[in-house]
Structures are given as C-alpha cells and as structure tokens.
Amino acid sequence: MERQDKLSFKEWFENIWYHYKWPIILLGFIVIFLIGGIIQSITRHDPDVSFMYIGAATVTVDGTNELESTVEEIIDDYNGDEYKKVDYLEFTALTDNSNNVIFDADHNKKVLQRFFVEIAAGDSIIYLVDDYYYNMLLGKEQLDVCVLAKLSDVLDDADMPVNALDEYGVFIKDLDIYKTEGFNQLPESTILCIRRSPEQDEVKYGRTMDVYNNNKKCFIKLITYKAPQED
C-alpha cells in the first residue's frame, strides 16, 4: 500500500474550500449576522424622552443634534440605563394656509398618513407642532378626539406659563427654552404640547405610564427652563 503524503495546510484549506465553499460562505454570513445582532443589543439604548415635530420647517442636521443635546443637558437618566437618549422625529409639510407657497400634495398626504400612524401607535409623547396640526391634536380637524393633556394636568400651579396659548399648549417663542441651541431653529409659531397619559387617552398608543411620566418630567423642565442671565 502506498503511503499517502501529508497535505500541507494550504493544500488542506484549498481542498476544503473546493468542496465546501458555499456552506462556508453561508455560515460566515450567519456568524456575522449573529455577532452584529449581539453588538446592537448590547449597545442599544432606549430613549429617555421622545419628541415629534410637524410643520413647515426643516431643522438642519446640526440643529437636530443641538436640540437633542440641549434636552440631554436638562433631563436626568430617567430609565436608569446610565445613558441619556433623546428621540426626535420630524415631519415637514406645508398646508393650504401657506402663503403663496407651492407644495407637493402627494408628499403632504404621505406625511399626514405617517402623522396619523404616529398618533395611533408611535413613541413620541412631547409634540412641537404648527397650529394646523395642533388643531388636529385637539380633535378639531380630522381626528375625532383630543389626544393632548391639559397643562393643568401636567404642571403645578406655580409652573403654569402665564402666556399659554390655551389649556393645552404654549408657543415655544414664549419660553426661555427657545433661546437654546436647536430649539431656536424652530419657527416662532411652533406650539409645545404633550400627549395625554395612557390612562386617560382614548387612543391606546401602547406607551407605559413609566415612559409617559419620564416624558412628563422633561416637558415640565422645558416649560420651567430659565436661560442664564447675560452679563
């Protein structure tokens, strides 16, 4: 019987690769996918607070980062994961009330659909909106019910803004928070308001009371924020 020469590592690898190339490639993709999922699950952080803006403006990328940084500076680590995270969702759409501005009706329709989905099942609880969508949230336009909390249900008497728009909202320009980076890129007509709690809302949007109360704390900080006095 002839003695079979021992294969070198290179020859062994080439033989394995020749016969099992595709299973090896498939296994490699599976391993990469699993490792990526593990890393993502380890590094992923749930948001402490969630905002939604809808209106005619578009905040720049830098402005969005500045707004999120401003909020992170004034809030605490509400969910206890040792990381402050702010979710900011932005929908840009014009309305029929936009003065002499041509707008894309199809785009606006898609934005409106996404807006309704966010109201029905989204994560955002603190809203920054123009008056057109504010009236929707109040149940005056298209929505059948008001989904906003009264300021008096969220704020103590001492924290109530003296220049509130009505029972539910306040113009961002009338608050000191409007002087901060990021928020100062929003139109002056932007209205700050907050969703009703899950216990009171007729639209069950799937947020827990713990998550809601964290956003409520942030909302109070936005209302009561005092800008540093200039020398």
The residue segments making up the domain with residue 156 are 49-224
For the ranges 93-97, 132-136, 184-188, which has the lowest average pLDDT? Answer: 93-97
Q: What is the CATH number of the domain that holds 112?
A: 3.40.190
Q: Is residue 2 part of a domain?
A: no
Which pLDDT score, from 0 to 100, does residue 95 have? Answer: 62
Same domain, residue pair 36 and 128: no
Report residue 197 as tokens: 């709690």
Lowest mean pLDDT, pick from 32-41, 49-58, 107-116: 32-41
pLDDT (0 to 100) of residue 129 = 95
Same domain, 199 and 88: yes
Lowest mean pLDDT across 63-67, 200-204, 219-223:
200-204
Has residue 101 been placed in a domain? Answer: yes
Asked if residue 22 has pLDDT above 80, the reply is: yes
Residue 36 pLDDT: 67
Q: For residues 86 and 20, state if they share a domain.
A: no
- Whether 144 and 193 map to the same domain: the answer is yes
pLDDT score of 33: 77
Cβ burial, residue 139 (10 Å; 0-12/13-18/19+):
middle
Is the pLDDT higher at 99 or at 62? 62
The fraction of the chain above a pLDDT of 70, given in percent, is 86
For the segment 102-120, the average pLDDT, to the nearest whole number, is 79
Position 60 in a domain: yes
pLDDT at 2: 47
Token pair of 128, please?
A: 């920054």
Residue 142 falls inside a structural domain: yes
Residue at 31 is within a domain: yes
**Rg of the chain in Å (alpha carbons):** 26
Q: Using one digit for the tens of pLDDT, what is the confidence trace for 113-172?
A: 888 888 888 889 999 999 989 999 998 877 778 899 999 999 999 999 989 999 999 999
Query: Is residue 136, in this structure, part of any structural domain at all?
Result: yes
| Shared-domain flag, residues 117 and 16 | no
Phi-psi bin for 53: left (phi > 0), alpha (psi -120 to 50), beta? beta
Residue 175 and residue 225: Cα distance in Å, rounded? 8
Higher pLDDT, 31 or 168: 168
Is residue 29 predicted with pLDDT exceeding 90? no
Give me the chain's average pLDDT, please.
Answer: 85
User: 61-74 and 209-224 are packed helices; what angle lies between their axes, rounded to 10 degrees?
Assistant: 100
Q: Is residue 3 part of a domain?
A: no
Whether residue 137 is found in the same domain as residue 28: no
Q: Are residues 104 and 87 in the same domain?
A: yes
- Which pLDDT band holds residue 41 (cuts at 50, 70, 90)? low
* Structural domain total, the chain: 2
Residue 101 pLDDT level (bands cut at 50, 70, 90): very low
Q: Are residues 54 and 164 in the same domain?
A: yes
Question: Is 207 part of any domain?
Answer: yes
Same domain, yes or no: 68 and 28: no
Does the pLDDT at position 21 exceed 90? no
pLDDT at 1: 42
User: In three state form, how does the secondary structure of the chain look?
Assistant: CCCCCCCCHHHHHHHHHHHHHHHHHHHHHHHHHHHHHHHHHHHCCCCCEEEEEEECCCCCHHHHHHHHHHHHHHCCCCCCCCCCCEEEEEEECCCCCCCCCCCCHHHHHHHHHHHHHHHHHCCCCEEEECHHHHHHHCCCCCCCCCCECCHHHHCCHHHCCCCCCCCCCEEHHHCHHHHCCCHHHCCCCCEEEEECCCCCCCCCCCCCHHHHHHHHHHHHHHHHCCCCCCC
Together in a domain, 115 and 197: yes
